[in-house]
Amino acid sequence: MIKSSPRIWTDRPLAFKGLVVIALPLAVLLGALFSLYLASSAETRAEDDVRRAFAIQRDVYQVHALLAEAAAGVRGYALTREDRFLAPYYTSERDLPVTLTRLEEAIKDETVRPRFIELLKVTQAKRDGLRATIALTQSTTQPSTQQIERSLIANKLALDAVRTEIDNIQKLESVVLDERRALVDDVRTRFLALTAVSGIVGLLGSLAAVYLFSTGIVRRVSKLEGDAERLARGERLEAPPEEADELGRLGQRLSRASALLREREDDLRASEERFRLVIEQVRDYGILSLDKEGIVTSWNMGAERIKGWRTDEIIGQHFSRFYPAETRDFQPDKMLERARVNGTAEDEGWRIRKDGSKFWADVVITALRGEDGELQGFAKVTRDMTERRRSEEDLRLAREEAVAANLAKSEFLSRTSHELRTPLNAILGFGQLLEIDEDSFSKPHRDAILQIAKASRHLLALINDLLNISSIEAGAEEVEIEEINIGQLLEEARALADPIVKAAGLRFDIDLPCANATVQADRRRTMQVILNLVSNAAKYSTNGTFVRLGAEEANEQITVFVEDDGPGVDPANRSRLFTAFDRLGQQKKPNSEGTGLGLALSRSLVESMGGVIDYEPLDQGARFWFSLSCNVVPRIDPQPVQ
């Protein structure tokens, strides 16, 4: 007679049922995870291409920004002959070659590459023009107003040429970026679809496993539980149905057990015999008994396997022969004494096999006492822990390698700083030499020379930001705490940031604290944080009218704030504000460029001075602030940038 479908499942062994119940959803899960891994890898590669395109756009923008700032500074110097106006020019000469070098390495697209070559030319021409204006202003012969005007007009035309080439590159890169974004969106769509399908399949597989588990095991286990309770009360059990799996056989055994209770004493003796056989057959543990003097009186197969002696070779011998020579004279007696006093004694150490080889053993010796408390002997359990010790040793070595790797990282950063800055200095130096002979070059070449200098300075600034973050995280960046007049510092910051705010078409307001308000901080780092916050406010306040910089004093704290009346920050993005390289979707907006490092670096700098930085929304706009103590504070290691 053919069995029905439920009986076919019921009669299957529990191992098979367990395999089906566990393997079915597990197989679905593993398949889903593998497919998700493939989709995630594809998405990651596509996103890397997008980030590379963003980096190119950011660097191209920085080239223009450095040249524009340098031009403004040189114009101020030419009109006033005050050296302070040359600070942006020197910054541009330092950072521009770095940025151009990075663009040289990053731009691989055949359509963008020719425009980049033109950008190099017009940048150099612009740098030559600025250098010529400075040289004209510094000449011993007082230049005429017409000469200065002609030089400034030439510089403006050179900057216009740079801006034109930058616009061309940005347009081409925008096309490339759109293509890469479309690829990311396509991969992400497939990823989400695959996730949904995997979830549905996993749910169906789990439901099927639960159904099989419930019908094949849970219901019958509940019945067996009731039979066990009746058996405990001494009731006779009814004969169970004939079922071929383990649960069916267990039910039959419970039924027979109710009849066997009347033969309890025989069963107990049989149980003792089985226990003896188990002890003798155990292979992973060496189990032996000792008399009160430590002489071996029994020996199981596990002890023979671990130590090598046969039973007839070791019975009647003292257990000290298992110890190496250096501990044999005292350790065995010490272990027995501890077991006598404490009931048990445990030890780990080297032991000797019959062939003379050593193994690492975990040993427990237990005192055996009769009902009257008299010592009868000892039970000794030995386990070979050589593999575990080897694993611990491997873990220790791995830990040491990790420490060495961390030291290598620090060394790498130090060498990177030197190796990158050295060629950048060379680029800037050669750029300056080219600027000396600016008049001998055509206008495109002068623009290219200027662009090289500007890109180099930008690249050097970015390297400095990354190395600053790494140094602060490692605690290697020294903090020079001094007393700073916060009002004077804000005035200096306003003077430096005023061109940025005006370029954005915004009004720049300042709220100064009392004249004698001071703060304990690193002057350079504090200025860097203020400029980062003002620059962000000017950049993202697209529909605003002003940027306000100010400070207020309360509870021995100075709080510096930057406010604007722009669109503010989406509440959903607040937790990501200070995350490195996360621009909160601003990269999708036209003419919105940046690295995503400003706020992350600002947080690290403020925390390295023992301060706090945060953001709070306004009714219209945003307010970023950081607080520093008016008193000397110890350095607080910042949290690593995520």
Give the pLDDT confidence score for residue 299 in this predicted structure.
79
Name the band, by pLDDT with cuts 50, 70 and 90, for residue 586.
low
Domain span at residue 279? Answer: 275-386
DSSP character for 250?
Answer: H
Give the pLDDT confidence score for residue 496 in this predicted structure.
87
Name the band, by pLDDT with cuts 50, 70 and 90, for residue 256.
low
Give the pLDDT confidence score for residue 632 in this predicted structure.
45
Residue 477: Cβ within 10 Å count: 19
Question: How far does Cα 269 stand from its chain's mean position?
Answer: 62
Which CATH number covers residue 60? 1.20.120.1730
* C-beta separation of 121 from 445 below 8 A: yes
Give the pLDDT confidence score for residue 263 in this predicted structure.
59
**Side-chain half-sphere of 392: how many Cα atoms within 13 Å?**
6
Q: Of the residues 386, 403, 427, which one is the last residue of a structural domain?
A: 386
**Of the given ranges (5-14, 298-307, 580-589), which has the lowest mean pLDDT?**
580-589
- How much of the chain, in percent, has pLDDT values that exceed 70? 65
The answer to whether position 405 is within a domain reads no
Give the pLDDT confidence score for residue 549 in this predicted structure.
92
Residue 248: Cβ within 10 Å count: 17
Helices (H) and strands (E) in the chain, counts: 16, 12
Residue 543: Cβ within 10 Å count: 7
The answer to whether position 144 is within a domain reads yes
Domain match, 172 and 52 both: yes
Helices assigned H by DSSP within 570-626: 598-608
**Of the given ranges (40-49, 554-563, 581-590, 605-614), which has the lowest mean pLDDT?**
581-590
Q: Which residue has the higher pLDDT, 641 or 38?
A: 38
**Element (H or E) spanning 380, and its range?**
strand 375-384
Give the pLDDT confidence score for residue 166 in this predicted structure.
74
Domain match, 85 and 177 both: yes
Domain match, 198 and 254 both: no
**pLDDT for residue 266 is more than 80:** no
Domain match, 374 and 497 both: no
Q: Of the residues 215, 230, 258, which one is the last residue of a structural domain?
A: 215
Task: For helices 443-474 and 14-80, give the axis angle rounded to 10 degrees.
Answer: 130
* DSSP states of 189-241: HHHHHHHHHHHHHHHHHHHHHHHHHIIIIIHHHHHHHHHHHHHHTTPPPPPPP
**pLDDT for residue 276 is more than 60:** no
DSSP character for 478?
Answer: -
pLDDT in tens, 335-358: 889 888 888 888 888 888 888 888
pLDDT in tens, 216-244: 566 667 776 776 777 676 666 666 666 65
The answer to whether position 400 is within a domain reads no
Give the pLDDT confidence score for residue 634 in this predicted structure.
43
Give the pLDDT confidence score for residue 301 in this predicted structure.
79
The answer to whether position 422 is within a domain reads no
Domain match, 521 and 622 both: yes
Q: What average pLDDT does the structure give for the chain?
A: 75
pLDDT in tens, 365-376: 898 888 888 888
Q: How far is CA 110 from CA 99, 163, 237, 445, in A?
A: 20, 21, 87, 22
DSSP character for 521?
Answer: E
Q: Characterize 264-290 residue by residue with b for buried, 16 or more Cβ atoms within 10 angstroms of its Cβ, and e for exposed.
A: eeeeeeeeeeeeeeebbebeebbbbbb
Domain match, 31 and 89 both: yes
Name the band, by pLDDT with cuts 50, 70 and 90, for residue 2.
very low
Give the pLDDT confidence score for residue 561 in this predicted structure.
93
Q: How far is CA 526 from CA 39, 441, 484, in A?
A: 44, 42, 10
Name the band, by pLDDT with cuts 50, 70 and 90, for residue 637.
very low
Give the pLDDT confidence score for residue 109 in this predicted structure.
73
Domain match, 381 and 486 both: no
Give the pLDDT confidence score for residue 626 in this predicted structure.
93
Q: What are the two backbone dihedrals, phi and then psi, of residue 625, each rounded to the nearest 5 degrees?
A: -145, 155
Mean pLDDT for the stretch of residues 192-217: 69
**pLDDT for residue 588 is more than 50:** no
Domain match, 237 and 342 both: no
The answer to whether position 454 is within a domain reads no
The answer to whether position 295 is within a domain reads yes
The answer to whether position 396 is within a domain reads no
pLDDT in tens, 381-436: 888 778 787 888 788 888 888 777 766 665 665 566 566 667 777 777 777 777 77
Q: Which residue has the higher pLDDT, 485 or 72?
A: 485
Length of the chain: 642
**What is the spatial distance between Cα 152 and Cα 18, in angstroms, rounded to a whole number?**
85
Give the pLDDT confidence score for residue 624 in this predicted structure.
92
Q: Which residue has the higher pLDDT, 234 or 364?
A: 364
Domain match, 317 and 205 both: no
**Of the given ranges (85-94, 334-343, 617-626), which has the lowest mean pLDDT?**
85-94
Q: Of the residues 267, 296, 327, which one is the last residue of a structural domain?
A: 267
Domain match, 135 and 45 both: yes
Mean pLDDT for the stretch of residues 123-151: 75
**How many domains are contained in the chain?**
4
**pLDDT for residue 152 is more than 80:** no
The answer to whether position 9 is within a domain reads no
User: Which amino acid appears at position 369 of this protein?
Assistant: R
**Sheet with strand 375-384: strands edge to edge:** 296-299, 285-290, 375-384, 358-369, 344-352
Contacts of 51 (CB under 8 A, 6+ apart): 581
Mean pLDDT for the stretch of residues 534-556: 86
**pLDDT for residue 262 is more than 90:** no
In this structure, what token pair is assigned to residue 489?
């510092």
Which CATH number covers residue 523? 3.30.565.10
pLDDT in tens, 442-474: 778 777 877 776 666 656 656 665 666 565 555
pLDDT in tens, 290-338: 888 889 888 777 777 888 888 788 888 888 888 888 888 888 888 889 8
Q: Is the dihedral of CA 153, 157, 162, 167 positive or negative?
A: positive
**Of the given ranges (103-112, 137-146, 531-540), which has the lowest mean pLDDT?**
137-146
Domain match, 512 and 539 both: yes
**What is the spatial distance between Cα 603 and Cα 608, in angstroms, rounded to a whole number?**
8
pLDDT in tens, 463-510: 665 666 565 555 555 678 889 898 899 999 898 889 888 988 899 999
Domain match, 231 and 356 both: no
Residue 408: Cβ within 10 Å count: 11
The top-scoring range by mean pLDDT among 475-479, 583-587, 622-626 is: 622-626
Does pTM top 0.85 for this prediction? no
**pLDDT for residue 531 is more than 60:** yes
**pLDDT for residue 642 is more than 50:** no
Which CATH number covers residue 319? 3.30.450.20
